[in-house]
Chain A
Amino acid sequence: MTGESTAQAAAATTEAAVAETAGKPPAVRVSGLWKRFGEQIAVAGVDLELPAGRFIGLVGPNGAGKTTTLSMVTGLLRPDQGTVEIVGHDVWRDPVEVKARIGVLPEGLRLFERLSGRELLVYMGRLRGLPGDEVDKRATQLLDVLDLAGAQHKLVVDYSTGMRKKIGLAAALLHNPEVLFLDEPFEGVDPVSAQTIRGVLERYTASGATVVFSSHVMELVESLCDWVAVMAAGRIRAQGTLAEVRGEAPTLQDAFLELVGANGRDAGHSLDWLGGGTR
């Protein structure tokens, strides 16, 4: 993470884009979203309005319902209740408009791993209805930019975690979606691959597209995003620009701990034997 300077730079570049997209419908509008798995309520009434052209972070501790929410927003999981609109189109009633406009990189789902990296991209591009030559051109460029050109003929099953995330990102970007949903795109990714992914995403949002990604690494979100939604126990605790959500707190991390009610959970005296001194 390069820190504040990148965040400011990213914010500055998106400022213009935001001005441009003003007046457009929000990238994502979620209202009253519920999902229950047996006894457990995974998502308990989520309302969200994510502006277009922003780099948006969905943050929350493990088990907060981020993956469930993103799955429902992208049409991969049917909600028990509630509506989801993407750029003004209902996800469940108007899949033709929605699916062409979104790119998705889910977490915990496989890819077609017995295809090589290039074959996977060509496969996805053709399923998306892109012409063959265009798919080849875009796949070549994406493989180059994401530093996968050397491994393009290797089967995805033999890829490392970082390479899988990158090929997944390439597959999600291939049809130039308006809104990109990434579930934990930096989880288990080495710093070099992470930087590559950041570079591509920053360039993508700078052109006016929207990125929504989930993470539980606050420093990452703080340095990348200009808009944040905080989730805990299946609900949205706060949403708004980075500054709004951070409020008085010195860092997003502090604001986040405050919001999810994890502050003051100090180890106290229970581990006073731990560390130097008497063994």
Chain B
Amino acid sequence: MTSTTDTHPADGGGAEAGTGAGIGTGAGPGGTASAPAPATGPGTASLTPVFIQLKLSLLRNGLRQSGGRRAAYIASIVFTLLFAALQVLGLILLRGNEHAATIVVLSMAVLALGWAFMPLFFASGDETLDPTRLVMLPLRPQPLVRALLAASLVGIGPFFTLCLVAGSVVTVAHGAAAVTTGVIAAVLTLLLCVTLSRTIAAANTRLLTSRRGRDLAMLSGVVIAVGIQLVNFGTQQLSEAGGLDRLDPVADVLSWVPPASAFGAVASVNDGAYATALAQLALSALALVLLLTHWTRSLTRLMTTPDGSTLQAAEPTRDKARAAHGLARVLPRGRTGTVIERTLRYAWRDPKTRAGWVSSLAIGLIVPLFNALQGNGSVYLACMAAGMLGVLMYNQFGQDTSAFWMVAMTISSTRDAYVELRGRALALLYVTLPYTTLTVGATAWVVDDWQSFLPALGVSFALLGAMLGLGSMASYLAPYSIPQEGHRNVAPGQAGISIASIFGGMIAAALLCVPMLALTIWVYVSDSHAWLWLLLPVGALYGTGLTWAGLRFAAPRVAGRLPEILAAVSRG
């Protein structure tokens, strides 16, 4: 059961917004001069230690949670520390390597990028740093920024960064002058990273604390997954002979971009280019000052203007009705079109569904294409695109959450259930068919094997058809809840069902495709290449047949098990 109030954005924020006191009283033009003297006294002196203590208490309280969460908390700390130690070790070993400077400069850029994105993914991660919680307190911008900055430097993330920058100094600095520069660079980099993260968070607090922001954060898992694929691909490219040489020009550019420019300065000192080093350090310092100024401004604005809930209510309504009619016009009439329209809207608007779609689309494209680019690909690997999208058919009703009752109230016969499921399968096909064709085509283009294009497409369609058919069955056989908040994709206690549904479904789909694969292999082995094109219509027909059979089989069972399905999908 879900309470409607907790999904309503910015509850309670309204009360705080109205006061608007915060740091704003003295922050306006000329306000600082005329401000009453007592306010600055205790505020400035004690604010920083208070914030640091608050941060330490929060870290300590992480240990006071329930068993499982505490274990996860400790494990994450241990893991981070181990990772940091490995990084330091690696950096020290790198000392003297001809590419050491390149790698350090690049890692600093990546580090800064990580800090920049952190607030977008973990907006609620650090309560001490959410300035909207301080709105009621009489604080001045300067001391507040100092205190917040000091508090931001306490924690696992900054410690990890400190390890990394310290290790980097060891790696690149040769000689006393370089070490001195390195220490300055390390401090500058650490401050820059933390300030960058805070500035971005403060500038986007409205977005991050709103429903839209939480929707975006939901995609972070996908971004990380795709990022890992890209990194994986990148490392493979670089591990080839001479791979690192290709990075040198990139590092040359980045050594002028803060905070990487600070470590660029260390390398310049090594080379004796002191003027260049000074310029690079100054660039980083300037960036820090600019960021701090921007952060202060954002904080001031944040605490003196109404919050998101008020703005949202005043948001002008756009006329979306016409666009909706446009979409409806190209879709079939009746229940089929209605279901397709809703499914496609959800694919775009519902964060969980969108994350599923984006990851399926991305992985389905990346794996065959990257393999092809690396020279060990095959057009048939592009069938994976169809497989990845076919998975979306599994647990159709779980994607509805408990709103499935609205569907259940309108399914009173096998026919209704059939049309409902068929509509959902068609919605998937609207995207899958062009996408699969495109992926197979792109892969065929990269590996330059157009002869396999049509048969590979045929196998893809057969696989897709099998998954759509089996997905309809899995949707009634093994429905499970998808929690709407957080990163979990299965409600507690239903993990077994979801694994059985997806993996069982994949294996079954592969088995169903065996005849199609056998036929394909036979065509190749018997050397009847002239008939390869025939595999496309055969695969398409076979897939259509499997989907039709799956829908026919599932429909009466869905209609007969509506309460059970509703109960299974309502746990999130």
Whether B345 sits at the interface, judged by CB under 8 Å, is yes
A99 and B345 contact, CB distance less than 8 A: no
Complex CA distance for A152 and B317, rounded to whole angstroms: 9
A104 and B345 contact, CB distance less than 8 A: no
Contact with A along B328-358 (1 / 0, CB 8 A): 0000011101110110011001100000000
Give every chain A residue within 8 A of B2 (Cβ-Cβ). Answer: 108, 110
- Set B211, B346, B350, B401: member contacting A158, Cβ < 8 A: B211
Whether A113 sits at the interface, judged by CB under 8 Å, is yes
A96 and B402 contact, CB distance less than 8 A: no
Complex CA distance for A127 and B566, rounded to whole angstroms: 18
Complex CA distance for A95 and B407, rounded to whole angstroms: 14
Q: Jot down 9 A-B pairs with beta carbons below 8 A, ordered by A.
A: A77-B563, A78-B563, A96-B413, A111-B403, A112-B346, A152-B317, A153-B320, A158-B9, A164-B4
Whether B40 sits at the interface, judged by CB under 8 Å, is no
A154 and B4 contact, CB distance less than 8 A: no
A129 and B335 contact, CB distance less than 8 A: yes
Whether B525 sits at the interface, judged by CB under 8 Å, is no
Whether A126 touches B338, Cβ cut-off 8 Å, given contacts A113-B7, A151-B317, A161-B8, is yes
B410 and A75 contact, CB distance less than 8 A: no
B338 and A153 contact, CB distance less than 8 A: no
Whether B312 sits at the interface, judged by CB under 8 Å, is yes
Most buried by A among B333, B350, B409: B409
Whether A238 sits at the interface, judged by CB under 8 Å, is no
In the complex, what residue of chain B is closest to A94 when comparing beta carbons? B412
How far in angstroms is the closest Cβ of chain B from A156? 10
B8 and A112 contact, CB distance less than 8 A: no
Whether A155 touches B349, Cβ cut-off 8 Å, given contacts A119-B324, A150-B317, is yes
A127 and B405 contact, CB distance less than 8 A: no
Whether A199 sits at the interface, judged by CB under 8 Å, is no
Complex CA distance for A74 and B211, rounded to whole angstroms: 33
How far in angstroms is the closest Cβ of chain A from B445? 37
- Scan residues 62-114 of chain A and give those whose CB is less than 8 A from a CB of chain B: 74-78, 95-96, 98-100, 104, 106, 108-114
Whether A110 touches B402, Cβ cut-off 8 Å, given contacts A77-B567, A158-B211, A188-B4, is yes
9 residue pairs, one from A and one from B, having the closest CB atoms = A108-B1, A126-B338, A95-B412, A127-B410, A114-B349, A109-B402, A110-B403, A78-B563, A99-B412
Complex CA distance for A113 and B406, rounded to whole angstroms: 12
How far in angstroms is the closest Cβ of chain A from B470? 25
B345 and A160 contact, CB distance less than 8 A: no
Complex CA distance for A98 and B407, rounded to whole angstroms: 15
Whether B570 sits at the interface, judged by CB under 8 Å, is yes
A106 and B5 contact, CB distance less than 8 A: no
In the complex, what residue of chain A is closest to B484 when comparing beta carbons? A110
Known: A96-B413, A109-B403, A159-B8. 19 other contacts (CB 8 A): A75-B408, A76-B408, A76-B562, A77-B563, A98-B412, A99-B411, A108-B1, A108-B2, A112-B346, A112-B406, A114-B345, A114-B349, A114-B350, A118-B321, A123-B342, A127-B339, A151-B317, A153-B319, A160-B8
How far in angstroms is the closest Cβ of chain B from A211? 17
How far in angstroms is the closest Cβ of chain A from B358? 16
How far in angstroms is the closest Cβ of chain B from A31? 19
Whether A153 touches B405, Cβ cut-off 8 Å, given contacts A76-B566, A77-B563, A158-B312, is no
B403 and A126 contact, CB distance less than 8 A: no
Complex CA distance for A164 and B346, rounded to whole angstroms: 19
Whether B307 sits at the interface, judged by CB under 8 Å, is no
A113 and B335 contact, CB distance less than 8 A: no
Whether A126 touches B211, Cβ cut-off 8 Å, given contacts A114-B350, A160-B8, is no
- Set A96, A106, A116: member contacting B405, Cβ < 8 A: A106
Complex CA distance for A78 and B5, rounded to whole angstroms: 28
- Scan residues 454-502 of chain B and give those whose CB is less than 8 A from a CB of chain A: none
A126 and B335 contact, CB distance less than 8 A: yes
Whether A243 sits at the interface, judged by CB under 8 Å, is no
Contact with B along A155-193 (1 / 0, CB 8 A): 101111100100000010000000000000000100000
- Scan residues 359-375 of chain B and give those whose CB is less than 8 A from a CB of chain A: none
Complex CA distance for A150 and B317, rounded to whole angstroms: 8
A124 and B406 contact, CB distance less than 8 A: yes
Q: Main SS of chain B's interface residues? A: helix
Give every chain B residue within 8 A of A152 (Cβ-Cβ). Answer: 317
Complex CA distance for A252 and B393, rounded to whole angstroms: 52
In the complex, what residue of chain A is closest to B351 when comparing beta carbons? A114
Complex CA distance for A114 and B218, rounded to whole angstroms: 15
Contact with B along A27-43 (1 / 0, CB 8 A): 00000000000000000
Complex CA distance for A154 and B211, rounded to whole angstroms: 13
Give every chain A residue within 8 A of B564 (Cβ-Cβ). Answer: 78
Complex CA distance for A171 and B349, rounded to whole angstroms: 21
B410 and A128 contact, CB distance less than 8 A: yes
Whether A115 sits at the interface, judged by CB under 8 Å, is yes
Whether B318 sits at the interface, judged by CB under 8 Å, is yes
- Set B4, B319, B412: member contacting A100, Cβ < 8 A: B412
- Set A96, A123, A153, A188: member contacting B5, Cβ < 8 A: A188
Most buried by A among B334, B337, B346, B406: B406
How far in angstroms is the closest Cβ of chain A from B409? 6
Give every chain B residue within 8 A of A115 (Cβ-Cβ). Answer: 342, 345, 349
In the complex, what residue of chain A is closest to B8 when comparing beta carbons? A160
In the complex, what residue of chain A is closest to B335 when comparing beta carbons? A127
How far in angstroms is the closest Cβ of chain B from A16? 31
How far in angstroms is the closest Cβ of chain B from A26? 21
Contact with A along B411-426 (1 / 0, CB 8 A): 1110000000000000
Complex CA distance for A12 and B558, rounded to whole angstroms: 45
How far in angstroms is the closest Cβ of chain B from A90? 13
A109 and B9 contact, CB distance less than 8 A: no
Complex CA distance for A171 and B410, rounded to whole angstroms: 12
In the complex, what residue of chain B is closest to A154 when comparing beta carbons? B317
- Set B321, B334, B341, B412: member contacting A153, Cβ < 8 A: B321
A75 and B563 contact, CB distance less than 8 A: yes
Contact with A along B237-279 (1 / 0, CB 8 A): 0000000000000000000000000000000000000000000
- Set B5, B7, B9, B413: member contacting A95, Cβ < 8 A: B413
Most buried by B among A77, A99, A112, A119: A112
Give every chain B residue within 8 A of A109 (Cβ-Cβ). Answer: 1, 402-403, 405, 570
Complex CA distance for A251 and B403, rounded to whole angstroms: 38
- Set A77, A114, A128, A150: member contacting B346, Cβ < 8 A: A114
Complex CA distance for A115 and B312, rounded to whole angstroms: 17
A123 and B324 contact, CB distance less than 8 A: no
How far in angstroms is the closest Cβ of chain B from A91? 11
B400 and A124 contact, CB distance less than 8 A: no
How far in angstroms is the closest Cβ of chain A from B278? 52
